[in-house]
Amino acid sequence: MIELLDVCYVRLGTKDIQTSTDFATRILGLEVSESSRNSRHLRSDERGHTLYYHDGDPNDHVVGFEISSNDDLDSAAATLEAIGNEVYRGTRDECDSRHVRDFISFREPSGLKIELVVRPEVLGKRHFPSRDAGISGFSHVGIFSQDCQRDEQFWTQVCNARVSDRIGDVPLLRVNEIHHTLALVPSQRGGLQHINHQVDSTDDVMRSYHLLKEHNVPIVFGPGRHPTSGARFLYFQGPDGMTFEYSVGVSEVDEETYRERQFGFEPFSLCMWGAKSNLDGLEN
């Protein structure tokens, strides 16, 4: 069993590094922590970076998950190889550029590249965002799935993910006490469906709603409230068509007493306030 501790970063290829950086800093509210001619590391919390943009194919998406030790990394590699996954071990330079001690990568069943990393760097210096969006940290991702039931089995049986809720066959999966760290969203393609940052308050969600509209950023869903995690949310479109989410109030789960819930595959399961979803794979 691969014991995931938390999601730790997303890496995205982009056609236009400067436009993506401007969006990430001036609109989304992240801080550049490292910059080169063709890449940017961006911070959202105490971690050294949680988003990385690089010149490249915008369909090139990678999600990093932290695991606890090199022993766990070796045993994860063996587990993945035993079920037929090709596993790549990061070189020293690749580890350095990610600010991690070690990592392996592989593709999950719908094709998204996953990196399992050991000891991602945390900084003593306080996160100082370039816009006051109220971001408290990177929290979860939505992943496109060509077969939600198959992919749920991978995340729950090969890895330690647990189902918190399902909306129809769409599972919201946790790897720690947070209600969900990943959601599997039905689609013909693979890759990342959305990137979530938590904000401090509902006021932050609403302030950003107005700011995004002023900047003509397409709103994809919300403002609204998920009945599943209880979070107040707003989804919007960033560079290269990537969807970002702000949310506040995601519930925590007591492993002893929590029982997964089955929500109907209908609009009020996505938003209890009645907002209409234009999310890829979940339009209503």
Ligand X SMILES: CC(C)C(=O)/C=C\C(C(=O)O)=C(\O)C(=O)O
Nearer to Fe ion, 76 or 178 (CB): 178
Residues 175-194 that bind ligand X (CB under 6 A): 180, 183, 185
Give the whole-angstrom CA distance, residue 271 versus residue 48. Answer: 33
Give the whole-angstrom CA distance, residue 161 versus residue 65. Answer: 12
Neighbours of 78 (CB within 10 A): 10
Partner whose binding site includes residue 145, from ligand X, Fe ion, none (CB under 5 to 8 Å by kind) = none
How many residues touch Fe ion (CB under 5 A)?
2
User: Rule CB under 5 A: is residue 139 a binding residue for Fe ion?
Assistant: no
User: Rule CB under 5 A: is residue 196 a binding residue for Fe ion?
Assistant: yes
Give the SS3 label for residue 241.
Answer: helix
User: Rule CB under 6 A: is residue 226 a binding residue for ligand X?
Assistant: yes
User: Rule CB under 6 A: is residue 242 a binding residue for ligand X?
Assistant: no
| Beta-carbon contacts of residue 232 (< 8 Å; ≥ 6 apart) | 202, 205, 223, 224, 225, 247, 248, 249
Characterize 34-67 residue by residue with b for buried, 16 or more Cβ atoms within 10 angstroms of its Cβ, and e for exposed: eeeeebbbbbbbebbbbbbbbeeebeebbbbbbb
Partner whose binding site includes residue 185, from Fe ion, ligand X, none (CB under 5 to 8 Å by kind) = ligand X
Q: Shortest Cβ distance from residue 60 to ligand X (Å)?
A: 22
User: Rule CB under 6 A: is residue 250 a binding residue for ligand X?
Assistant: yes
User: Rule CB under 6 A: is residue 142 a binding residue for ligand X?
Assistant: yes
- Label the pairing between strands 182-186 and 135-145: parallel
Nearer to ligand X, 89 or 276 (CB): 276
Give the whole-angstrom CA distance, residue 247 versus residue 136. Answer: 10
Among 50, 228, 237, 243, binds ligand X (CB under 6 A): 228
Among 239, 270, 275, 280, binds ligand X (CB under 6 A): 270
Nearer to Fe ion, 20 or 198 (CB): 198
Partner whose binding site includes residue 42, from Fe ion, ligand X, none (CB under 5 to 8 Å by kind) = none
Nearer to Fe ion, 121 or 283 (CB): 283
Give the SS3 label for residue 143.
Answer: strand
By the 10 Å C-beta count (0-12 exposed, 13-18 middle, 19+ buried), 189 is classed as middle
Among 170, 173, 178, 192, binds ligand X (CB under 6 A): 170
Going by C-alpha positions, the residue among 236, 235, 231 that lies closest to residue 200 is: 231
User: Rule CB under 6 A: is residue 231 a binding residue for ligand X?
Assistant: yes
Structure tokens at 183: 């959601």
Residues binding ligand X (CB under 6 A):
142, 170, 172, 180, 183, 185, 196, 226, 228-229, 231, 247, 250, 270, 279, 282
Residues binding Fe ion (CB under 5 A):
196, 245
